[in-house]
Amino acid sequence: MTWHVRGLLTRLDSRAGEGSPTGGDGAISFAAEVKSELAGLTPARPCCQLSELLGIFYSSKGRVIRAGDGHAAYFPLLRNTAARKVVRLSRLLGGIEAKYQAARSAKQMTFFVELPLPAGLEQQFGLSAAKSCPQASCDRKAMLRGLFIGCGSVNAPSARYHLEMVLPSLGWATVLSKLLNEQGVHAGVTERAGHHLLYVKDGDGIVRMLSLMGASRAVMEFENVRVVREVSGQVNRRLNFETANIDKTISSAMRQVAAIEDLERSGRLEELSTALREVAQARRGNPELNLAELAAGMHLSKSAVNHRLRRLVEMAEGAVEVEGAVAAAVPRGQQPPEGTPPSERDEDIAANGKNGKNGKTPNGHNAQKGGHSMTRPLRVGEAGEVPRPTPAIGGRVA
């Protein structure tokens, strides 16, 4: 029988990779590497050995069958690493020799392992999820390792972070989720195609779970790739930020230069104040500078330069429809009728006082008629003013 088991292990080694997911170039996936590392670990204590064997049994939906005068645990496994681990653990638990059978289908290899159970172990393979979960910390880690070998999967760290386990029942998903939450791993439970899944989607949780199972090499590889990925993400975000700023600066500068050229062609640039002309000259000479650099070169504040450039753009864009802007500023009921001369329009606007304080016209001057302000207060005795009575002196009105 010993030679028979050795023959199995030799054939399993020769078929490594047939039952495991590989890439197009034959490279073993990250999940297969993790399971190979976990399968190579050998628990030292018999309690841990039994817990890991139970984890593989329940995760593979094994069952207890009749075998002669006793019972046997039947393992339907899809990976050679899991089959080798069952054979190794059965030997460590008291020299139990396992029977096996390998079958090839159109898509994969399937391994069936039959493990004769001593009288003291039959009860352990028929308990519910709540009763099968051990209390000792080392036993829980060993069972978690066995469950992952049987039904777990994890994405490569270069892809999206995702670890999942297709558990045999909702009870196992609930118990395992509670166990992981106690260890600081946020795990979710869902159902897909009639199967109950436990999943972890954050990188820290996956690293913590791999550490609990003892996959130290996988943890190092995961962390190295994650660090490179995070640094690359930060660099990309910084480049995108800088590119967006450069695009914004260029578009704003082009708009300002176009406005300055428009004012110069129309002859209005020379009529502006010295401060506006200086800013216009600086912007035309340095269109590639951003606002902060332009302000530093002129020894002005960033706010002052921004305000002056904005005024230049507004003058260039709003000077085309001045009369339309004035008409829009006056309420519809108080607008002068069509055909009214511009001078009378200015007088009406100044009299209504709707275009600014002190009756200013759109040109910025006080509306005047005959050299006097249209809005000055009336003196005593003029039309529209009621004379105030003189205070009484000695009972008579002065």
User: What does the pLDDT look like over 70-115, one tens digit per residue?
Assistant: 888 888 888 888 888 888 888 888 778 877 777 787 777 788 888 8
Q: What's the whole-number average pLDDT of the chain?
A: 75
Q: What is the CATH number of domain 1-120?
A: 3.10.28.10
Tell me what pLDDT residue 144 has.
92
Positive or negative, the CA dihedral 82, 86, 87, 91 is positive
pLDDT at 265 over 80: yes
CA separation (Å) from 113 to 53, 78, 79, 90, 99?
A: 12, 11, 12, 11, 6
pLDDT at 347 over 60: no
d(CA 277, CA 271): 9
pLDDT at 33 over 80: yes
Q: What one-character DSSP code corresponds to residue 392? A: E
Q: Residue 71: helix, strand or coil by DSSP?
A: strand
Tell me what pLDDT residue 343 has.
44
d(CA 102, CA 18): 12
Tell me what pLDDT residue 209 has.
93
Q: 192 or 100, which is more confident?
A: 192
pLDDT 10s digits, 229-259: 888 888 888 888 888 888 888 888 888 888 8
Q: 170 or 4, which is more confident?
A: 170
Q: 245 or 341, which is more confident?
A: 245
What would the mean pLDDT of 355-378 be, rounded to a whole number?
A: 44
pLDDT at 277 over 80: yes
Q: Which range has the worst mean pLDDT, 30-44, 123-137, 267-281, 326-340?
A: 326-340
Task: Give residue for tokens 């709707």.
Answer: 354
Rg (C-alpha) for the chain, rounded Å, is 44
Tell me what pLDDT residue 120 has.
76
Structure tokens at 110: 């399937």
Nearest to 218 by CA among 230, 209, 231, 229: 209
Tell me what pLDDT residue 67 has.
78
Structure tokens at 262: 């428009």
Residue 379 CA from chain centroid, whole number: 73
Structure tokens at 268: 């209005």
pLDDT 10s digits, 207-221: 999 999 999 999 999
pTM, full prediction: 0.57
Q: Which range has the worst mean pLDDT, 86-100, 263-277, 334-348?
A: 334-348
Contacts of 166 (CB under 8 A, 6+ apart): 151, 153, 195, 196, 197
What would the mean pLDDT of 184-199 be, rounded to a whole number?
A: 90
What would the mean pLDDT of 29-33 be, rounded to a whole number?
A: 89
pLDDT band at 198 (very low <50, low <70, confident <90, very high): very high
Domain residue ranges of the chain, discontinuous segments joined by +: 1-120, 226-321
- Bridge partners of 369, per DSSP, are 372
Helix, strand, coil shares of the chain as percentages rounded to 5? 55, 15, 30
Contacts of 30 (CB under 8 A, 6+ apart): 154, 155, 156, 157, 218, 221
pLDDT at 380 over 60: no
Tell me what pLDDT residue 360 has.
45
Residue 311 CA from chain centroid, whole number: 39
d(CA 299, CA 282): 12
Nearest to 221 by CA among 211, 212, 231: 211
The top-scoring range by mean pLDDT among 104-113, 168-177, 363-372 is 168-177
Q: 370 or 142, which is more confident?
A: 142
Q: Which range has the worst mean pLDDT, 120-129, 296-305, 344-353?
A: 344-353
pLDDT at 322 over 70: no
Contact 39, 84 (CB under 8 A): yes
Task: Give residue for tokens 């500078």.
Answer: 289
Positive or negative, the CA dihedral 164, 165, 169, 175 is negative
